[in-house]
Amino acid sequence: MLQIKAGEVAAHVSPMLYGLMTEEINFSYDGGLYGELVRNRNFKEDAQNPIHWQLVQEGGGTGSMALDASQGFNEAVPASLKLTIASASGKQQVGVANEGFWGIPVRPNSRYRASFYAKAAPGFNGPLTVAITSNDGATTHASARVGGLTGDWKEYQVTLTTGQVMATAENRLVISTNQAGSLWLGFVSLFPETYANRPNGNRKDIMQLLADMKPAFLRFPGGNYLEGNTIATRFDWKKTIGDIARRPGHLDNAWHYWSSDGMGLLEFLEWCEDLHMQPLLAVYAGYSLRGQRVAPGPDLEPYVTEAIDEIEYVTGPATSTWGARRAKDGHPAPYRLEYVEVGNEDNFDRATGGTYDGRFTQFFDAIKAKYPQLKVISTMRATTRTPDLIDEHYYRNSEDEMASHAHDYDARDRTGPKVFVGEWATRVGRPTPNMSGALGDAAWMTGMERNSDLVVMSSYAPLFVNVNKGGMQWPTDLIGYDAMTSYGSPAYYAQQMFSRNHGDVVLPVTAQGIPTREWQPPRRASVSAQQPPLPPAQQVPTLFYSVTRDSQSGTIYFKIVNRASTPQPVRVEIAGLERVEPKGQSIVLGAASPDDTNSITEPTKIVPVTTSVDGLGSSFTREFPPYSITILELRGK
């Protein structure tokens, strides 16, 4: 039985409770959210070979292609792709083709914006044909012609428009000619129509999935991606702003692939703007993953200055140094910023000397001195300064393990810093969570929501995964996609349900007779040769709950998670209200099996179902389906 005291307030629900965390992993940006369709667009992914590019020779034309370090495009792109056409005329074509990120997606009646920088050897001025073709070259979906090449680097732009073509990703972008001679390509780009029509924007379908979650904030740019394996491969924000053709890109060696840095600092801010989220800016704090760190003091000062400059780029007026640079980049108005996080998972620094206390103090003092209104987040317990929030990360390897921790915050001391659960997930299912993962997640979210006076922000991680072979570095991930389509996992829909349906106050609940099941925790990791004993078995609840109320409308949001394999009847008693309407609404996410999931081929196998319900009131009994997450909306006075 659950007894709800609707006339009392246990806590206030943080308006920032549900947000997003993002980083470049699993081809999250390049090959994922970021709209760019050309892979290795500035020819820097391999210093010796133009990987992801192929030579095209059709109709008897002959030629060759190679990287040319003697013809650098600019200081950020020191090599270009040289195309030599030995012979071509009439219908003979010689050119280069880009394979994209597991294909170039083509849809009917769609526009694509192609652009490239090129120059030619004396005697060659084109024309060039720019086309999206099938991989075998037999079908041209859209094409345009460009002429007037000269001996100087120049940008060329065309719009490619498809007709009634079949939707497919089995395509490539081709730049070709039927004239003999030589030319160089310095940067090649292809964008589809993007969300909010931004020229350097994001995929519409993935952005819509995110918009449907109604997230309150975005934590960026990462994670491990912020730190890099080395200082040289950290997220160096000053190299990610301005003209995309002049961004050098860098090896994301935390996850072992190339990042174009097309998703740069301004693009993260525009992402927040498009989805009406607050930015939560993480700044590099002098620690990289393979143990490189900067000692507090004079050596760290340049990185502190870098962070202060970054905050000014985000928030400064257009008359400030970095605010003026933001205005030059296309956004004169400053962005609202409330939270800054110093570093990421610096608890790992303990093994290399434990410098975070000193580093955090130096960043904290500098940020507070110039921006006292900002809330500063630490990534581990700090002793010399008191952070406004502490970022805690929890990855659990089973539904029962996650559920066993769902009450952890109930008894947490409230005298310390507020909590930001910046990364968490029930890692069950790959590449995306199955229903078991969603049930573990939902159990955990009831605990965060009940305790949102303490846990004021949370964000699942990782957010994205490209499901093609080679696209995943880390299971389990919230949203999956390939070149053509995307889908939300069952855990995604659990997140959506919680984020979209809650009040502003938490109601006290007394529970009796909650069923449990036995769970055997795994052995703890050991560095010794002797295998440690198994920990004692635990009884873990199969029912979890959270109840909130909208103090303006009076609507009660009663969330209940049934992890059991059988329906569970629950007696509900509501005190403190004059009346509870008998009619309400039910939102249910359920599955026949905890192993059931969504996928590219079955994207909506498990989705929330909304129905009208009757039989509610101040006292009622309701049966909750097996393997389900339910939100009851009740109207009270």
- The SS3 call for residue 36 is coil
Closest Cα partner for 574 from 625, 621, 541, 613? 621
Backbone φ, ψ for residue 64 (5° rounding): -150, 160
DSSP 339: E
Q: Among this protein's residues, is 345 annotated catalytic? A: yes
DSSP string for 540-553: EESEEEEEEE-TTT
Residues 616 and 583 sit within 8 Å (Cβ to Cβ): yes
Token duo for residue 370: 């110039």
Strands of 568-575's sheet in order across: 509-511, 2-5, 568-575, 619-624
Instruction: Evaluate the omega torsion of the peptide bond into residue 626 and state whether it is cis, within 30 degrees of 0.
Output: no
β-strand partners of 109:
none
What are the two backbone dihedrals, phi and then psi, of residue 40, each rounded to the nearest 5 degrees?
Answer: 65, 55
Q: Which of 45, 99, 310, 345 is catalytic?
A: 345
d(CA 628, CA 615): 20
Q: In this structure, are residues 227 and 284 in contact, taking their beta carbons and an 8 Å threshold?
A: yes
Cis peptide before 305 (omega within 30 of 0): no
Across-strand partners of 571?
621
Exposed, middle or buried by CB within 10 Å (0-12, 13-18, 19+), for 171?
buried
The residue assigned the tokens 């020191």 is 78
CA 457 to chain centre: 16
Rounded to whole angstroms, how far apart are CA atoms 41 and 87?
Answer: 26
Give, in order, the Cα–Cα distances in Å from 417 to each of 387, 391, 407, 413, 435.
Answer: 6, 10, 19, 10, 33
Specify the DSSP class assigned to residue 347: G
Q: In sequence order, which residues have a C-beta less than 8 Å from that of residue 469 and are 6 or more positions away? A: none
| Total residue count of the chain as it appears in this document | 637
Q: Is 524 exposed, middle or buried (0-12, 13-18, 19+ CB in 10 A)?
A: exposed
Burial class (CB in 10 A: 0-12, 13-18, 19+), 214: middle
Select from 545, 584, 538 the least CA-distant residue to 563.
545
**Residue 472 C-beta-side C-alpha neighbours within 13 Å:** 20
The sign of the CA dihedral 145, 194, 249, 240 is positive
Question: Counting beta carbons within 10 angstroms of the beta carbon of residue 185, is it exposed (0 to 12), middle (13 to 18) or buried (19 or more)?
Answer: buried
CB neighbour list of residue 159: distance below 8 Å, 6 or more residues apart: 111, 112, 113, 114, 144
Provide the 3-class DSSP secondary structure of residue 592. Answer: coil
Coil vs helix vs strand at 225: helix
Instruction: Please name every residue paired with 87 in a beta bridge, in sequence order, or none if there are none.
Output: 62
* Rounded-to-integer distance, Cα 226 and Cα 378, Å: 15
Catalytic center residues: 345
